[in-house]
Each structure stands twice: as structure tokens, then as C-alpha cells.
């Protein structure tokens, strides 16, 4: 089963994907992780991708999508996998569908997370990430704080704030870019009948764990 996570930064994609991964035993996959792995292992696609990344350029879809599909073909992803933040546009989604179909697979469920914009900004400003690249667990100082301040519950490494998470105007700019480029994916997957939209909001008291629990019930039906 292939699950996609959609939603602007700060809506809780990483948190919900992590909870689903932990419960189902399926890998949580991001393009960043895939790029780093392929570059480290010096695979043909990794070498190609690094030519763009090293220059600060975006990796073309014809490299990115095959890398994602290759990752889905690995043994730990055979029962299921959760793609966190990919695809990011219609072109990537169409290419992903095409390559998955060639391998007898498809996108089975798309979870679209929404939140009020003021809450998103507050969450990102309070977001902290494990500095251990093998862990990278995400926390929120108000909604999902670590047991010990500044320390990851899972591995004991230091928690850090990403540089672009500390600038409110930069956060607003990123949200605008998401609305422009990624929101069309919501309509794309809705037409396919695989979209499930869930709101995470402190105002309603519905948080990431509640959403993850409901999605697990749907998967296990």
C-alpha cells in the first residue's frame, strides 16, 4: 500500500507520518532521505542528483521520481510505505502514477492535512528537530515537547531549530509557494477518489495523534 502525505509545512505531516510508520511498521520516506542515501552510495541516480544539489539547483523530476520508485521497491517497503511531502506538483504526481503502474502498483491513499494559517506559523516557530540524521524525530515545544528539554526522547541527541523555521516572513513566503504549486494536487487526487482531508487544530482539540488513529482504523477496515 502506497500512502502520500499532503499538507503545507507545519500542518503535522511529519508527526502523523511518523505515528503511522511506527504503528504499521512501514517506512516513512522523504525525497531528502532518498537523495542523501543515493549520493552516499554513489548510485547512478545519486551521482546525477548530486550534480544539481551541489549547485543549489532543484533535482529534475526525471531523476527524482525514479529514485522514489526504486525506494518503494526495497524489501522494507513491500507491505506498505508512506511518502512524506512527495509529490510536490502535478507533473511529479503523473510521472509517479506512470512508473508505479509499470510495476503493478498505485497510490492507494492520500492524506491531506490542513490547519489554520496562524496555527501553522506558531507551530513552525516552535518546531525542533533531532540533530541525529539517523533519527530526525520532530517535536513541537507546545504541542509535542520532548520529555527532557532540548533532548530527543528516542536517541538522546540534541534538538535544534532549523534556520528557516525562525523567520516568520520566510515561513509565510513558503506557505504562499505551497498554495501556488502544491494545492492543485488536492484536486488531482480528489478526482481519483483516494483523497482523505483531515484538519489538525488546537482550537478544535484535534491533534496529530487523533488523525493518525482515525487513519489507522480506515487502513485496518
Q: CA-to-CA distance for 195 and 185, rounded, in angstroms?
A: 10
Could you count the other beta carbons within 10 Å of the beta carbon of residue 220? 8
Separation of alpha carbons 51 and 114, rounded Å: 35
Question: Are 113 and 10 a contacting pair, CB within 8 Å?
Answer: no
- Tally of residues, the chain: 221
Measured between alpha carbons, how far is 21 from 3 in angstroms, rounded to an integer? 11
The catalytically annotated residue of 123, 128, 136, 174 is: 174
Q: Catalytic: 206? A: no
Which of 13, 71, 128, 136 is labelled catalytic? 13
Which residue in the list 71, 95, 123, 127 is annotated as catalytic? 127
Which one is catalytic: 106, 162, 181, 203? 162
Whole-angstrom Cα distance, residue 184 to residue 205? 28
Catalytic annotation present for 88: yes
- Choice among 88, 123, 128, 136 that is catalytic: 88
36 carries an active-site annotation: no
For residue 79, what are the CA distances in angstroms to 2, 25, 58, 111, 180? 9, 9, 31, 18, 34
Which amino acids are annotated catalytic?
Answer: 13, 88, 127, 162, 174
Amino acid at each position: 500500500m502506497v500512502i502520500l502525505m499532503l499538507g503545507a509545512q507545519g500542518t503535522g505531516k511529519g508527526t502523523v507520518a511518523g505515528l503511522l510508520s511506527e504503528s504499521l511498521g512501514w517506512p516513512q520516506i522523504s525525497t531528502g532521505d532518498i537523495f542523501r542515501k543515493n549520493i552516499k552510495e554513489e548510485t547512478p541516480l545519486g551521482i546525477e542528483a548530486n550534480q544539481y544539489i551541489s549547485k543549489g539547483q532543484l533535482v529534475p523530476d526525471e531523476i527524482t521520481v525514479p529514485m522514489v520508485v526504486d525506494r518503494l521497491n526495497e524489501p522494507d517497503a513491500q507491505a506498505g510505505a508512506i511518502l512524506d511531502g512527495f509529490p510536490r506538483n502535478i507533473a511529479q504526481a503523473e510521472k509517479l502514477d506512470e512508473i508505479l503502474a509499470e510495476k503493478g502498483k498505485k497510490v492507494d491513499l492520500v492524506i491531506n492535512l490542513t490547519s489554520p494559517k496562524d496555527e501553522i506559523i506558531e507551530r513552525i516557530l516552535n518546531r525542533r528537530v533531532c540533530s541525529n540524521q539517523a533519527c530526525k524525530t520532530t517535536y513541537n515545544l507546545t504541542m509535542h515537547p520532548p520529555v527532557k528539554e532540548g533532548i530527543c526522547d528516542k536517541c538522546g541527541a540534541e534538538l535544534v531549530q532549523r534556520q528557516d523555521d525562525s523567520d516568520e516572513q520566510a515561513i509565510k513566503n513558503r506557505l504562499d509557494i505551497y498554495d501556488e504549486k502544491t494545492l492543485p494536487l488536492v484536486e488531482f487526487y480528489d478526482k481519483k477518489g483516494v483523497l482523505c482531508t483531515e484538519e489538525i487544530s488546537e482550537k478544535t482539540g484535534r491533534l496529530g495523534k487523533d488523525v493518525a488513529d482515525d487513519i489507522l482504523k480506515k487502513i485496518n477496515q
